[in-house]
Amino acid sequence: MNSSKENEQRTAAAFTRQSAAFDELYGSNPVIQYKRERVRNHVQQYLLPHSNILELNSGTGEDAIWFAQPGHTTHATDLSAGMQDILKNKVATLKLDDKISTEVISFTQLENLKQQTRYDLIFSNFAGLNCTGELDKVLDSFSVLLKPGGIATLVILPKFCLWEFLLLFKGKFKTAFRRFLSSKGVTAHIEGEYFKCWYYNPSFIIKHLQKEFDLVAVEGLCTLVPPSYMEGFAEKHPNFYAFLGSKEEKWKGKWPWRNIGDYYIISVRKKPGL
């Protein structure tokens, strides 16, 4: 078995094990709520009415359900069968079968999608695409899957995070430098499963897609607002948290802040006529 396939299987197993508790673990975290709002505010700028959306690493379907509310249609895909089961239950409960379809598939195998159509938007939230060392292969599929003028909005972990680097001063050298050492993948650990993830700067995506796509926007996410794993920060320091949020909103698209957050949001548009 090749290493890429094995890593995908381990990743799927990790998130399947976590799927039953995923919403409970993360749903009430104020920083995660902040991140969702930021991502949604970003993507909403580029959504056409009644868009046809392909979602990668859809998880338990929180974004697919959000897309469905104003009338968009989403084909929600994920490598984890457990995550897809949670999503299917939500779809059935909310009676959204006409707005959300599902498929267990790797984002490195999008040529095998059961819905071979052209989409208005390809959407991937919260660093799912960092779970592959073959992001170039994923990006290569976008031109075929998007309509001319279609948008791809991705939320990715970059190779440098200001908050993580500052952990150097707490003696956490491994965490402070882990993104610099990611060319062969950095080991992650969830629910007893070990798998690798990789980090990609915006320049990687822009360069790889430049022939057929134009850059629309890049925003830093959790550049000044602390990452969600810093539990209790927002509750313990509400005024400071609000201050950091206001500054991040002001500087999110400016250099260097757009490149040094825990994540960045990037949108690209397929060139007309392609």
Q: How far is CA 202 from the centre of its chain?
A: 13
Computed from CA positions of residues 223, 228, 233, 235, in that sequence, does the dihedral angle turn out positive or negative?
Answer: positive
- Mean pLDDT for 49-69 is 98
Closest CA to 53 of 29, 32, 77: 77
Kindly tell me if the per-residue pLDDT of 2 is higher than 90: no
What pLDDT band is residue 230 in, cutting at 50, 70 and 90? Answer: confident
Residue-wise pLDDT for 136-182, tens only, equals 999 999 999 999 999 999 999 999 999 999 999 999 998 899 998 76
pLDDT of residue 145: 97
Side-chain-side CA neighbours of 76 within 13 Å: the count stands at 32
Closest CA to 104 of 154, 158, 58: 58
- Mean pLDDT for 15-37 is 91
Q: What is the pTM of this model?
A: 0.96
What pLDDT band is residue 241 in, cutting at 50, 70 and 90? Answer: very high
Q: How far apart are CA 62 and CA 22, in angstroms?
A: 11
- Residues across the chain: 274
- Mean pLDDT for 222-239 is 92
- The arrangement of strands across the sheet holding 100-104 comes to 100-104, 73-78, 52-56, 119-124, 146-156, 263-270, 213-221
Q: How many CB atoms lie within 10 A of CB 263?
A: 24
Mean residue pLDDT across the chain: 95
- For 3-159+199-270, CATH number out of 3.40.50.1970, 3.90.600.10, 2.40.50.140, 3.40.50.150 equals 3.40.50.150
What pLDDT band is residue 1 in, cutting at 50, 70 and 90? Answer: low
Kindly tell me if the per-residue pLDDT of 240 is higher than 70: yes
Q: How far is CA 155 from the centre of its chain?
A: 4
Residue-wise pLDDT for 80-116, tens only, equals 999 999 999 999 999 999 999 999 999 999 999 998 8
- Per DSSP, helices labelled H in 80-230 are 81-94, 135-140, 142-145, 162-166, 173-177, 202-209
Residue-wise pLDDT for 185-221, tens only, equals 899 999 999 999 999 999 999 999 999 999 999 999 9
Which is it for strands 213-221 and 263-270: parallel, antiparallel or unpaired? antiparallel
Q: How far apart are CA 139 and CA 209, in angstroms?
A: 7
